[in-house]
Structures are given as structure tokens and as C-alpha cells.
Amino acid sequence: MHYRIIKEPMAMLEVEMSDGEKITGESGAMVYTRGNVEIKTRTREGGFFKKIKVTALGGESFFVNDFIAHGDCSIGLTGPPIGDIVLIGVRPATGFIVQSGSYVASSSGVMLDTQWQGFTKGLFGSEFFMLKATGQGDLFVNAYGGIISKELAADEKMTIDNYHLVALSEQCSYNVIKVGGLKTTILGGEGLATEITGPGVVYFQTKNLREFIDLLGINQRAETTSNSGVSFGGFRIS
């Protein structure tokens, strides 16, 4: 299996597959297929309640698609944010905690789960839950803006605004901290940040999606409409 990421910042993941190879994509991630590609829709791995957690709490869909090549084929996949797509290598000794909603695709062997708020309280802005990727394989994530990675040495610290943090190695330790005082929070546009301590790898995005939403005035318009009900797997249940 070979891949390339093209057309950044309007990024698309293009995967070339040989006969019998398979890649799993988030529901709705497919842009195109070329050749004889079989598509099998299924629920995520794990028990029912694990699937519910990933769906309702992790910001991902209840269903995923397996794309199976019959002969030489290619497929294009993408995510909703306007920004980079990057490859994160998941290994048995190197799992990752990943921003909710950034999952695009993964190779066989990568498992997705969520962590309870008590383990990652306050991480990734206002999100209560985030995805944890374990196993062995390739994980592709998409975020708003450019994605930058930094390797942290043992005991090296880095502070990242929560709305810019994309992923970090599971072996990193972290503390959620407040940046500045009340005046900074109200007038300076800052608030919670995450102080991460190596060793490990940190991924962060160059743009803040929350600020973009505020710029468009989406929050104000949403207040004028009814927002009752629960979003479940891409559907709203009133």
C-alpha cells in the first residue's frame, strides 16, 4: 500500500492498493475510488458500549467503511476541516491521544477508543472526550490549518493552547493550566492550555477553529434556533 497527501491546504489522502489490501475510512470520507474497490460498511470494532462512546462522546460516526482492493486500485479520502492531513504511526509501545473529530482513515491493526474525562480533563478545549489510538498501523488525521509536529526530549516541556492541540504520544505526561490571570482570559483571548512533558511527539494545528466559528458569527446565529436534542452518529435526535 502506498499513499500520498495532495493539494494541501485543501488536503486529500490518495491511497494506492494492491489486490487484497484494505484501508478503513471514516463515514463520508471517500472522495473517489478507481478500479474494483469493494466497500463494506460496518460498525466500529469493540463491544456495543465502546462503539457508543466513540460515536456519542468522541465526535466520530457509529459506522466506518472498509475499502478492499480487488486488483490494483486507488482511493481518495478526506476530512471536513480545511487543513493538512498527516500520518501518525501507531505502534504497540507508542499509542496516541487524538483530537475528537480529526480521524480520517487507518490501516488494519489500529484501534480507536475514548478516555474518561478524569484521565484527560480539560484537554482539547471544551471537549470532554478524545480518541485514543492503539495497536499497530498507520493513522491519518485532518485538522484546521497546518499541522506541525515537535519531538520532545525527556523532561522537556511545551505549552500548547487547547484549541491548537491535535495529538500527543500516550507516554507524554501533561497538566492542564490556565494561561495568565482573569484579565488575560477576558481581554487577551487566552484561557486553558496544556503543559506537555516529554519524551514523546506532539502535533498541533496552526489555526483555531473556535476563532473561525466566532468570526463567521455561527454561534450567534445558532442561539436564534432550537438546539434541543442529542447528536448521535451525525443525526440529531429531538
Residue 133 CA to residue 100 CA, distance in Å, equals: 11
Q: What is the DSSP letter of 9?
A: T
What is the sign of the dihedral through the CA atoms of 13, 14, 17 and 22?
Answer: positive
Give 105's strand partners. Answer: 25, 140
For range 188-209, the mean pLDDT: 83
Higher pLDDT, 54 or 12: 12
Q: Contact at 8 Å (CB) between 71 and 130?
A: no
Mean pLDDT of the chain: 78
The model's pTM? 0.77
Please report the pLDDT score of residue 119 as a whole number. 47
Please report the pLDDT score of residue 189 as a whole number. 45
Give 1's strand partners. Answer: none
Q: Of 106-110, 117-121, 219-223, where does the model show the most confidence?
A: 106-110
Please report the pLDDT score of residue 180 as a whole number. 60
Largest Cα span, the chain: 61
Q: Give the whole-number percent of the chain exceeding pLDDT 90.
A: 47
Instruction: Give the end-to-end CA distance of the chain in Å, rounded to a whole number.
Output: 43
Q: What is the CA radius of gyration of the chain?
A: 18
Residue 95 CA to residue 152 CA, distance in Å, equals: 16
Phi-psi region of 51 (alpha: psi -120 to 50; beta: other; left: phi over 0): alpha
Residue 132 CA to residue 169 CA, distance in Å, equals: 10
Burial class (CB in 10 A: 0-12, 13-18, 19+), 63: middle
Q: What is the pLDDT of residues 61-93, one digit of tens each?
A: 557 899 999 999 999 999 988 999 999 999 998
At 58, the pLDDT band (50, 70, 90 cuts) reads very low
Residue 215 has φ and ψ, to the nearest 5°, of -60, -40
What is the sign of the dihedral through the CA atoms of 81, 83, 84 and 90?
Answer: negative
Please report the pLDDT score of residue 238 as a whole number. 39
Please report the pLDDT score of residue 184 as a whole number. 42
Please report the pLDDT score of residue 77 as a whole number. 97
Q: List, in order of start, the domains of the chain with CATH numbers.
A: 2-216 (3.60.160.10)
Please report the pLDDT score of residue 49 as a whole number. 44
What 3-state DSSP class applies to 162?
Answer: coil
Dihedral, 224, 232, 144, 156 alpha carbons, nearest 10: 120
Weakest mean pLDDT among 61-70, 106-115, 120-129, 167-176: 120-129
Residue 120 CA to residue 212 CA, distance in Å, equals: 25
Q: What is the pLDDT of residues 146-187, one digit of tens each?
A: 999 999 999 999 999 888 889 999 999 988 887 765 444 444
Distances in Å between the Cα of 2 and the Cα atoms of 102, 124, 220 are 21, 31, 44
Tell me the HSE value of 88 on the side-chain side, using a 13 A CA sphere.
39
